Structure 1
């Protein structure tokens, strides 16, 4: 039994000694990337903002609004129902009111805001 192990070990060493002994790495040429130049000259990618805060507001008329404030401080998503479709509101600068076409406005980003939606007047809302 021991002689078989010795023979197997000797055969393995013999096979390994037949491997390439060159110290230089072998570079395998593949197809050239046809978009390499375009990718090198492409503009940097800007990721979309992530959600910074989720807030649920109750307004003076007892209605509820769900607002997601984004990390760029210039975007807010407004929902009139918990699982409803979101309306994207944008601010020209951080700290200014968020607005969207159709008459949507959110003034403020703290726990007390003023929200305006189409068909309703502006109303004070709080968390």
Structure 2
């Protein structure tokens, strides 16, 4: 019952704002974008980072993926969503193939993937 009251109140507010000439927008605000700089600008650790995570760890992973050509500047938004997941899997697949590495292809940035993103193929 309380949920219906809240939904009605929200709908009434939107209709009232529109009727009074107010601006009504729908949907979430646009995500922020970040400028990638030097490696380690946002995060230097190796914590497991995956879908649903947000913040500096994600921004750093996205910047590293961007510098490797797996994301565009507009996709560096600090949200580990589908684009980042797919970029991580693509990176892991290529790294595994060309560096003869056992890095897991799982779409998660863990210890091994952080090392792969930050350095060249192991000798």
Structure label with greater radius of gyration: 1
Verify same fold: TM over 0.5. no
Instruction: Choose between structure 1 and 2 for higher RCO, CA contacts under 8 A separated by at least 6 residues.
Output: 2
TMscore range, shorter length: under 0.3
Looking at secondary structure, tell me which structure has more helix per residue: 2
Looking at secondary structure, tell me which structure has more strand per residue: 1
TM-score, with structure 1 as normaliser: 0.24
